[in-house]
Amino acid sequence: MRKKITVLIVLLMCLLSACSSPDRLTSKHYINTGEDQLNETTRNPSSAPENSDSSVQTVTSEHSVSHSSGPTDDHTSESSQPAKDNTYNLSYNGYYYKNLTVGQKSIYKKIDAAIYEMKNGYIDLGSTQYSNIILAYAAVINDRSEYFWLDQSKYGIKYEDGKYYMCFSGVNINDLQLSYLYSEDQKSLLQQQIDQRLRQIILEAQAKENEYEKALLVHDWVVKNIEYDSVTADAVINKNQAGLDKDSFTILGGVLPRQTNHGVAVRAVCEGYAKTYHYILKQLGFESVLVTGNYNGYGHMWNCVKINNEWYFTDCTNDDLYSEAVSHTFFNVSSRALSRVYNFDKTVTPYTVDTITEDESFNFCLPECKSTQYNYFVVNKRCLSLGDFNIELGMVEASANTISKIADLIVSENAKQVKTTELCFGDATEFVFNEDTTAALIGITDIAEQIKKTGAQIKNIRVKGINGAKGFMICWE
């Protein structure tokens, strides 16, 4: 009797970003090196016939899930206290980990230890559902933004004699060599360089009085220090594997300067931005989640961060849109505000993960962000409410008082040699930024006339923003 062996090589889609003025686009990238159709044995390895031949299948999916007849997982809840594995000296307090079942946590720890130790060959994950493995792996790469040496787009899963095995390096399957992106010596050296470069921003953040100020400082640092990697983004759009810089998807791309086609720079795509923000906040004790979804028709990644016991969304990538200044349109925003611009990937729980279909990416136990208390514009009193507008017979225009306030704000900022300011439409309003109508809505022409009367040398006042977003920037010369 032949052994029952099914090998899956899953090539995850990378969540990338592409730049197209005036909006930033993002794209999910599929790497397909095999058949598109899956046979029944591959879809559910546990049902493989005893006399089946060994088979190899490539799946183009970020989080591919095999549907089994039922869980073999123990769904008993664990204590909320962070667990610690003394063998590998790893603290288990990530958001994904804490929301897994006991059985899924066991798989998580095995995967996590193997990646941390940079093990080669297959690791034994035991008898479980395939969906539990996919969820546990997704949880590891979400919680561990520091694993820059892992090529998370490639891994192997083998089902043999009723048990699953997984590998990340040291295995050749169908002429595809799985390997880590760096050696252990390189990993250690690069980690030292990352620690050195981040030491100052972490010290500065620790000195801030509250969580809002810490998160704001880190947000601004990420936006200012990372240059968007449009070369890699273009490679994604054009499906040019040779043009992909894998460091752009990791904290390496978001932290360390490196040689690129355009000189030495710190370059990343959306995944690199999000992981860098996540990683630094984790060093400061924040709870943070990497979020996936769709922006402007393309795949995207951003963050969900807990500040003073309330959750907020932050997207450093799309706050790095303007050359004039750092934007805060997507700093600490609510689900309601963000959902006007972004579409979220499906959210699953430990008990519904088996509902995910092939080629479907997902979020896990994603918190709902209801609060606006620590939104940038709320804290800085830059929100425009319904009371700031005259609404008569379907016509809407900024009130005289609103025009005066905005004019005074511009004059005040200009006196500080600043050439930008930011405003937003409050969550309670239905107003959002529109490149064709917002300037008229806030009365830019009247604002310019009022500024002219003050004698301030200000010209070319204009608005910038992302259509559908609540926040926007006013620029001038």
pLDDT one-digit tens code per residue, 12-26: 333 333 333 333 333
| pLDDT class of 89 with cuts at 50, 70, 90 | low
**Would you state the pLDDT for residue 296?**
86
Which of the residue ranges 43-52, 346-355, 438-447 has the most confident prediction, judged by mean pLDDT? 438-447
Q: Give residue 475's pLDDT.
A: 96
Average pLDDT for 57-76: 33
Q: What is the pLDDT of residue 359?
A: 67
**pLDDT exceeds cutoff 90 at 463:** yes
List, for residues 182-231, the tens digit of each pLDDT value.
999 999 999 999 999 999 999 999 999 999 999 999 999 999 999 999 88
Count other Cβ atoms within 10 Å, centred on residue 370. Answer: 13
pLDDT at residue 14, as a whole number = 37
Least confident of 36-40, 65-69, 113-117, 393-397: 36-40
Q: Average pLDDT in the 411-436 region?
A: 94
Q: Does residue 87 have a pLDDT over 90?
A: no
SS (HEC) of the chain: CCCCEEEEEEECCEEEEEEECCEEEEEEECCCCCCCCCCHHHHCHHHCCCCCCCEEEEEECCCCCCCCCCCCCCCCCCCCCCEEECCCCEEECCHHHHCCCHHHHHHHHHHHHHHHCCCCCCEEEECCCHHHHHHHHHHHHHHCCCCCCCCCCEEEEEEECCEEEEECCCEEECCEEECCCCCHHHHHHHHHHHHHHHHHHHHHHHCCCCHHHHHHHHHHHHHHHCEECHHHHHHHHCCCHHHCCHHHHCHHHHHCCEEECCEEECEECHHHHHHHHHHHHHHCCCCEEEEEEEECCEEEEEEEEEECCEEEEECCCCCCCCCCCCCCCCCCECHHHHCCCEEECEEECCCCHHHCCCCCCEEECCCCCCCCCCCHHHHCCCEECHHHEEEECCEEEECHHHHHHHHHHHHHHHHCCCCEEEEEECCCCCCCCCCCCHHHHCCHHHHHHHHHHHCCCCCCCEEECCCCCCEEEEECC
